[in-house]
Amino acid sequence: MPRISEFYGIVIYMYYRDHGVPHFHAIYGGQEAVISIQSLRVLEGRLPPRALALVRTWGKLHRDALEHDWELARTNRPLQRIRPLA
C-alpha cells in the first residue's frame, strides 16, 4: 500500500488494484477511513472530526492528482507523491 502523502500525523495511502469507487485511505491515531476522491465523503471507517476536516481540505486541493494516482494504481504503476497540506 503506497504512502502518497502525510501531514499533521495523518498518513494517506492508496492500494494497488483496489476496487469500487475511486478512493484513498487516511490513517490517523490508529483510526482509518476510506474517502471518496470525488465527493470526499467517508465510505468506510472513521477519523476524528479535526483530522477528517484536514483530509477533506487536502483532498479538495489535490483532487486531480488523486484521480491520476487512482488510474496509476489500477494499472499497477508507481504512484506519485502528493504534496502535504501546508
- How does pLDDT run across 24-53, given as a tens digit for each residue? 999 999 999 999 999 999 999 999 999 999
pLDDT at position 19 is 82
Mean pLDDT of 45-72: 97
pLDDT at position 37 is 98
pLDDT at position 36 is 98
- Close Cβ partners of 47 (under 8 Å, ≥ 6 residues apart): 10, 26, 28, 31, 32, 33, 55
Which residue has cell 469500487? 20
Look up the pTM and report it.
0.93
Cell of 8: 499533521
